[in-house]
Amino acid sequence: MKDSENKKVDLLEELTDNSEQITNLIEKYDAESRYRNLSGLPGKFITLWLVAMSVFHLATAGFVTIPLTIQRAIHLTFAVTAVFILYPATRKGSKVKTPWYDWLLAAGGFCVTAYIVVFFNDIARRGADPTNAEIYLGIAAIALLVEAGRRIVGNVLPCLSMIFLAYCYFGNYVPGIFQIRGYSLSRIIQHMYLTPEGIFGLALGVSATFVIVFIIFGAFLSQSGGARFFNELALAMAGGSPGGPAKVAVVASGLLGTISGSSVANVATTGAFTIPLMKKVGYKPYYAGAVEACASTGGQLMPPIMGAGAFIMSEFLGIPYLTIAGAAVIPAFLYYAAIFTNVHIRARKKGLQGLPKDQLPVLRDVMRTDGHLIIPVIVIIATLLMKYTPLRAGFIGVISVIIVSSLKKNTRMSFASILKALEEGARGALGVAMACALVGFIVGTSSLTSLGLTISNNVIELAGGNLLLTLIMSMCACIILGMGLPTTANYIVCSTIIAPALVGMSVLPLSAHLFVFYFGIMADITPPVCLAAFTGAGIAGASPSKTGFTATRIAIASFMLPYCFVYNPMLLLQKIIYWELAILVVSAFLGVMMLAGALEGWLFRDLRIPERIVVGIAAITAIHYDIMASVCSIIVLLVLSIFFYKTKDKVQINTTPEQD
């Protein structure tokens, strides 16, 4: 027994040796992770500031009601002030001290946003007609928000925001169909700064309500031991099966991804644990990094919580969040089925084994020790099913974590850990808050100039009214934007300028919005800029480009799913005919599994090239929206499976190590 425990300790030590390298990788690919670690009086101040931010939002979620614009302005006041204090202007800036000019910028950010809070009633009484002082304040607000956004979300979104703002002013010089009359500086400031159409619009409103409360929930769950529980649960369930660590990565990343809005952060969190394990049992480094990237990216598609964009989608479409979460169930299931099957087939093809039982936790012991930590997730699902708003459900979820964690000594949260969770929750929300504020300029430009409608009409015209061509163009736009924008910002931009084009071609609004949301997320594993794959490659010590292309290959079936649910909304639980839905799901499930076999070249035995081609065509046909095609594909795939199983002893399994 003691030897077994020592092996587990040695394994954990081995996995944590590269923690500094992982931290550097996160900072390289995730701007939100490049914050200062302040000590002394500044450190105490920013801790209290972030704790106050979380307490304010929990209070407004639970029992305090204030006007929406004031709540959004307070949210942004907390965020922009904290960003200037915590985030250096450049990567070479000090990580332990905030220079005087950043304190000055923090004070400026506080003033321009707090002004809306203090003078809200006065601004409303005069219909947001700007005074001369407010024009200067608006200019300062734009400049400060762009700079704060640049520090925490990177360069792309601030630049895009400035281009849209410039279009409002110089639009009369733009040639052709995009020419507008141009707006005065006073009108632009009024629209962007003083009304809920720009900075303080719907996007920031979602950040100030649903998003931050669920981020705080995730921080509380993590502080109580939730991340450890999910990892050990995945190890106990799948660690001993063929290629077990890769399956652990899929399960653990899917579980953690439901409470994490960042693919990069999810890769770093679970990848630090799973990637060394995958390499240990024989997976090549590039493949291990790719599996973790795919599994972590899909977390934002996984109900019940999903990514922050799903909450914004609920507000944009005016439909319950639970409807969106329900619609995502089948695509998420098929996404993870594709990845899980791929790693299983690779393990069987290469003869890879799982981890020894003496290095694995026992499922019964894991559930006995930490199993109660699943209760808060069940509480959130139950409250959503009881028709509570996501805001109230998130608040109840946080309270349930504190109560449930206190049931066992090993998970009980101390006062210090509660403060730490409040601080981490607020810090985790800063990037989303700044992204939503900057996206407010883009959404505001669209409402002021009708740019979104113009782009949508021209996309339809350029595609010649062909839906498939419009979908392909939309997919490319979402992926390209996703290479430089955070998921939430990417969804808001695409839902403003791309989704209307799909709706204009009679696509259901929910299908259109999930289409752009889905492909915005998939950008994280799509070369040439695939940050989740790059992070996985860094942890694995593999080629970033090879890891990126491998991630795309592993998830290739998932690139077809959005097309299927656009053409057949039953996959989103819309317009259901139950027997047809059952056939579609079974067919798609067989399709993603067999496509993995075709790509890996193994189904019970090695496949020859002609066999791989036949299986691939049948699998692609199975992942289809047409009922007759699905029925025929099911029959063909079952016949092929039986044939390969019957002939498995006639072909030698290739266990020759592959080259890096």
**pLDDT tens, position by position, 214-225:** 889 988 988 998
Contact 543, 604 (CB under 8 A): no
- Give the whole-angstrom CA distance, residue 145 versus residue 437: 8
CA distances from 109 to 81, 104, 114, 186, 444 (A): 6, 9, 8, 20, 20
Structure tokens at 364: 């019964």
Question: Which pLDDT belongs to residue 658?
Answer: 52
- Give the whole-angstrom CA distance, residue 382 versus residue 397: 10
My answer on whether omega of the bond before 528 falls inside 30° of 0, hence cis, is yes
- Give the whole-angstrom CA distance, residue 546 versus residue 527: 9
Structure tokens at 161: 């925001």
Question: Which pLDDT belongs to residue 192?
Answer: 95
Tell me the mean pLDDT in the region 554-579. 87
Classified as helix, coil or strand, 555 is coil
- Give the whole-angstrom CA distance, residue 447 versus residue 639: 55
- Give the whole-angstrom CA distance, residue 638 versus residue 641: 5
Residue at a domain's end among 168, 188, 203: 203
- Give the number of other CB atoms < 10 A from CB of residue 33: 18
Number of domains present in the structure of the chain:
2
- Give the whole-angstrom CA distance, residue 293 versus residue 343: 13
Question: Which pLDDT belongs to residue 259?
Answer: 63
Tell me the mean pLDDT in the region 521-539. 85
b/e map 51-82, b = 16+ CB within 10 Å: bebbebbbebbeeeeeeebebbbbbbbbbbbb
Q: How confident is the model at residue 156 (pLDDT cuts 50, 70, 90)?
A: confident
Give phi and psi for 66, each to the nearest 5: -135, 160
Q: Provide the residue count of the chain.
A: 660
Question: Which pLDDT belongs to residue 544?
Answer: 86
Q: How confident is the model at residue 651 (pLDDT cuts 50, 70, 90)?
A: low
Is the C-alpha dihedral spanning 268, 273, 274, 278 positive or negative? Answer: positive
Tell me the mean pLDDT in the region 114-132. 92
Query: Residues 6 or more apart from 495 whose CB is under 8 A from it?
Result: 312, 313, 316, 513, 516, 517
CA distances from 601 to 118, 150, 292, 320, 322 (A): 66, 45, 21, 43, 40
**Rounded to 5 degrees, what angle do the CA atoms 212, 218, 224 make?**
140
pLDDT tens digits for range 536-557: 888 888 888 899 999 999 888 8
Q: Is the pLDDT of residue 657 over 70?
A: no
Q: Is the pLDDT of residue 59 over 70?
A: yes
Residue 221 lies in a domain: no
Q: How confident is the model at residue 29 (pLDDT cuts 50, 70, 90)?
A: low
pLDDT tens digits for range 360-395: 888 888 898 888 998 998 898 888 888 888 888 889
Q: Is the pLDDT of residue 90 over 60?
A: yes
Residue 407 lies in a domain: no
Residue at a domain's end among 159, 185, 203: 203
Tell me the mean pLDDT in the region 405-414. 90
Residue at a domain's end among 180, 203, 226: 203
Highest mean pLDDT (candidates 42-56, 309-323, 447-461, 523-537): 42-56
Amino acid (1-letter code) at residue 295:
A
Rg (CA), the chain: 25
Residue 208 lies in a domain: no
Q: What percent of the chain has pLDDT over 70?
A: 92
Residue 604 lies in a domain: yes
- Give the whole-angstrom CA distance, residue 63 versus residue 486: 31
- Give the whole-angstrom CA distance, residue 303 versus residue 51: 28
Q: How far is CA 528 from the centre of its chain?
A: 19
Q: Which residue's structure tokens are 């003691």?
A: 2
Classified as helix, coil or strand, 538 is helix
Question: Which pLDDT belongs to residue 84?
Answer: 96
Q: How confident is the model at residue 9 (pLDDT cuts 50, 70, 90)?
A: very low
Q: How confident is the model at residue 627 (pLDDT cuts 50, 70, 90)?
A: confident
- Give the number of other CB atoms < 10 A from CB of residue 651: 14
Question: Which pLDDT belongs to residue 466?
Answer: 86
Burial of 321 (0-12, 13-18, 19+ CB in 10 A): buried
Residue 122 lies in a domain: yes
Tell me the β-bridge partners of 606: 602
Q: Is the pLDDT of residue 8 over 50?
A: no
Residue 641 lies in a domain: yes
Question: Which pLDDT belongs to residue 538?
Answer: 85
Structure tokens at 254: 């899917």
- Give the whole-angstrom CA distance, residue 286 versus residue 533: 9
pLDDT tens digits for range 416-457: 999 999 999 999 899 889 999 999 999 899 888 888 778 777
Q: What's the whole-number average pLDDT of the chain?
A: 85
Structure tokens at 660: 């890096």
Residue 604 sits in which domain range? 577-648
Contact 207, 440 (CB under 8 A): no
Structure tokens at 425: 């929750």
Residue 523 lies in a domain: no
Query: Residues 6 or more apart from 246 whose CB is under 8 A from it?
Result: 274, 278, 283, 288, 291, 343, 346, 347
Query: Residues 6 or more apart from 152 whose CB is under 8 A from it?
Result: 31, 32, 83, 87, 430, 431, 434
Q: Is the pLDDT of residue 329 over 80?
A: yes
Q: How confident is the model at residue 64 (pLDDT cuts 50, 70, 90)?
A: confident
Tell me the β-bridge partners of 602: 606
**CA-closest candidate to residue 432, choices 657, 616, 265, 607:** 265
Q: Is the pLDDT of residue 114 over 60?
A: yes
Contact 525, 296 (CB under 8 A): no
Residue 640 lies in a domain: yes
Q: Is the pLDDT of residue 515 over 60?
A: yes
Q: What percent of the chain has pLDDT over 90?
A: 29
Q: How confident is the model at residue 123 (pLDDT cuts 50, 70, 90)?
A: very high
Q: How confident is the model at residue 69 (pLDDT cuts 50, 70, 90)?
A: very high
Task: Catalogue the long-range contacts made by 508-511 (C-beta closer than 8 Å, 24 or more residues apart).
Answer: 508/569, 508/572, 508/574, 509/317, 510/317, 510/319, 510/323, 510/324, 510/327, 510/569, 510/572, 510/574, 511/565, 511/566, 511/569, 511/572, 511/574
Query: Residues 6 or more apart from 524 whose CB is under 8 A from it?
Result: 263, 264, 293, 297, 482, 487, 530, 531, 532, 533
Classified as helix, coil or strand, 603 is coil
pLDDT tens digits for range 194-210: 999 899 998 899 889 88
**CA-closest candidate to residue 37, choices 81, 75, 87:** 87
Structure tokens at 118: 């203090």
Tell me the mean pLDDT in the region 35-64. 93
Give phi and psi for 291, each to the nearest 5: -60, -45
- Give the whole-angstrom CA distance, residue 519 versus residue 571: 17
- Give the whole-angstrom CA distance, residue 310 versus residue 325: 8
Tell me the mean pLDDT in the region 608-618. 89
pLDDT tens digits for range 167-203: 999 988 888 788 888 899 999 999 999 999 899 998 8
How many helices, marked H, and strands, marked E, lie in the chain?
A: 33, 0
pLDDT tens digits for range 239-296: 888 878 788 878 877 777 666 666 777 787 778 778 888 888 888 889 989 998 888 8
My answer on whether omega of the bond before 331 falls inside 30° of 0, hence cis, is no
